[in-house]
Amino acid sequence: MNIHIIGGGAVGLFFAAQWCEKHAVTLWTRTEQQAEMISRGGIRVLENHMENIYPVNSKKIESLYVEGDLVVVAVKQYHMKEVLPLLQNAAAQSVLFLQNGMSHLDFLEQVPHPHLYAASVEHGLAKIDGRTIQVNGRNKTNIGSLRSGTAGIIDQLQTGSFRFDWNENSYHMLIEKMAANAIINPLTALLKVKNGEIAENARFRAIAKDLSREFASVFSYKTAEDTFQSVLSICTKTADNESSMLKDMKAGNLTEIDAIVGVLLKTAEKNHRSVPAFQLLYNMIKGKENTPEFMSK
């Protein structure tokens, strides 16, 4: 396949590295500097005390023109609006979205491609520099159809060590991922802790349980206890990881709070549900967002 990946973050780098030996891959980045770094030196993957280099062609996203089989959108939710015009002009049969949260679903009607997919990534990844990622835990990618997609795409995308699982209900798949993100991300960012501490600390665990109850009152296809146990399991499996929101807050960057908790708040309001704990988390993150001095206080 001819695959174009938009976004040079940890997920975009990882997917490009995993596919480059099987497919023709082009990675589109926001800066010329990163594109040159990748094209010159390849993508460097650190995993299990080993280092591997994967040669990948990379270009600056500003000059994006795509003719291929699949476009993979691996940018943060808050970059979707600027990527959308480029995506609309891409000559490709299929588009795969790799975002956290669910706000990217609002753009689907503006994406003209015949086959649309969404995925939920369960790998533990950390970006070290423009061409280097650390794999803290290799797991799987869940994928489902948003428009006219089929499970046959898995045979094309997965390799022996890069697993994909098909989900018949992509909406439920995204909600399940959002439950973990909505609880773990803001808590770890505000408490300044790694994921494992949410499960290990009794008081933090109690907060997560309260949030699970609120989440289940809005998205009721899973019980509060199932949601809570899923959150604990993820925290345990990724105990040494820093959440993406904690990393963003440390760097003084925008977070994906609107795409994750913001969507939950809007859905709760529409369905007349009270979610005071999530409203508190949302207001606290928004108040601290984009302030580099946050983590030094």
Please determine, for residue 293, whether its predicted confidence score (pLDDT) is greater than 80: no
Please determine, for residue 296, whether its predicted confidence score (pLDDT) is greater than 80: no
Query: For residue 289, which amino acid is it?
Result: E
Confidence (pLDDT) at 251? 85
CA distances from 115 to 71, 220, 222 (A): 11, 29, 28
Please determine, for residue 53, whether its predicted confidence score (pLDDT) is greater than 90: yes
> Residue 248 and residue 166: Cα distance in Å, rounded?
30
Q: Determine the topology of domain 2-168 in CATH.
A: Rossmann fold (3.40.50)
CATH architecture entry for 172-296: Orthogonal Bundle (1.10)
pLDDT band at 291 (very low <50, low <70, confident <90, very high): low
Domain ranges of the chain: 2-168, 172-296
Confidence (pLDDT) at 63? 62
pLDDT band at 237 (very low <50, low <70, confident <90, very high): confident
CA distances from 221 to 146, 184, 230, 259, 276 (A): 19, 20, 14, 20, 21
Task: Select from 124, 122, 121, 131 the least CA-distant residue to 51.
Answer: 131
Residue partners of 113: CB distance under 8 A and separation at least 6? 71, 90, 92, 93, 94, 95
> Residue 73 and residue 77: Cα distance in Å, rounded?
10
Task: Read off φ and ψ for residue 95, nearest 5 degrees.
Answer: -130, 135
Q: Per residue in 24-41, is it b (16+ CB within 10 Å) or e — as a string?
A: ebbbbbbeeebbbbbbee
N residues, the chain: 297
pLDDT band at 297 (very low <50, low <70, confident <90, very high): very low
Tens digit of each residue's pLDDT (9 = 90 or more) over 79-100: 888 888 888 888 899 999 999 8
Tens digit of each residue's pLDDT (9 = 90 or more) over 183-222: 999 999 999 999 999 999 999 999 999 999 999 999 988 8
Which SS3 state, helix, strand or coil, does residue 166 take? strand
Task: Read off φ and ψ for residue 230, nearest 5 degrees.
Answer: -65, -40
